[in-house]
Amino acid sequence: MAVLSRRSLLAALAMSAAVPSLTQAQGLSDRNIFIIVPFTPGSGPDVLARIVGEELRKRWNQPVIIDNKPGASGNIGAAAAARTEPDGHTILLSVNTFLMNAALSKSLPYDPVKSFAPIVELATGSLVLAVHPSIPVKSTQELIDYAKGKPGQVTYASPGRGTPQHLAMELFKLTAGVDLRHVPYTGSAGAVKDLVGGHVGAMFVPVHTVLPMAAENQVRLLALGSEKRSTLAPDVPTLAEEGVSGFEVDLWYALSAPAATPKDIIDRYNKVVNEILVSPDVRDQFAKQGLVPVGGSPQQLAALIEQDLPRWAKVVKDAGITQE
């Protein structure tokens, strides 16, 4: 896919000049830098922000504060970031929920394209289709056949409406022609807990989250939603290998700044974050979170956003998903 060809670190990065009046050491100023994370402390995006934020602090000798603003599937934090002064001192760490919300809501308090200046794609993470062992299937095709025999009876969990896990399963339903009943939760913890407890039958889950449960036979992993197999679970096939084609639902994480942030500031962030992403220690920390570092230019992130927006809008429309 075209997206995957963009998901490689640039061999050479354009050097950018700092604004003298903003420079102290290598940082922007003596003021704090805030990374807004529109999810709760301890969540995947929060952990990622803290890894990058600490590396940024060390390189720029400038305080970096992680500012959690959870709620409304990330809308509250994204809207807050969009309203901040475009001087580089506040940036947003977003997930592709950022785009899915735009497809779900007609009154979004921000525009994912017009309200932000892309900085860099940070990482991708794989989602895996998991079922509780009480569902008598051991492959994706067996799940499809089982669900077709029990339309609307097999339940699936998600961390909430409009989340990547929700839309991934809706895309699976459309692609496979099955009817599974959605049970939305108010976060990942409760959803995964109920999957393990057998209160729901299936779920798309970040692969690193569910591996310990699979090792204890508390869940069964059927297939990955990525184009390629995960190094964390090399024995788990992809959905494409299982016969479900045209399916690629990686989570992706990115940094953006408020629109009108000067290009030289965007370029400085892009350069330093690309340097951070090739650090062996950072790559090791990412791997422990099930994440693959990406990097690249602001233009590559902009192209990814441009591609994914209509894609998820189509899934929302075809699945008849409405905001509640």
Question: Tens digits of per-residue pLDDT, 278-316?
Answer: 999 999 999 988 899 999 999 999 999 999 999 899 988
Query: Mean pLDDT lowest for which of 83-87, 113-117, 192-196, 247-251?
Result: 247-251
Record the pTM.
Answer: 0.83
How does residue 19 score in pLDDT terms, banded at 50, 70 and 90?
Answer: very low
Q: So what's the pLDDT on residue 18?
A: 35
Q: So what's the pLDDT on residue 40?
A: 87
Q: Are 277 and 270 in contact (CB under 8 A)?
A: no
How does residue 323 score in pLDDT terms, banded at 50, 70 and 90?
Answer: low
Query: Mean pLDDT lowest for which of 31-35, 134-138, 208-212?
Result: 208-212
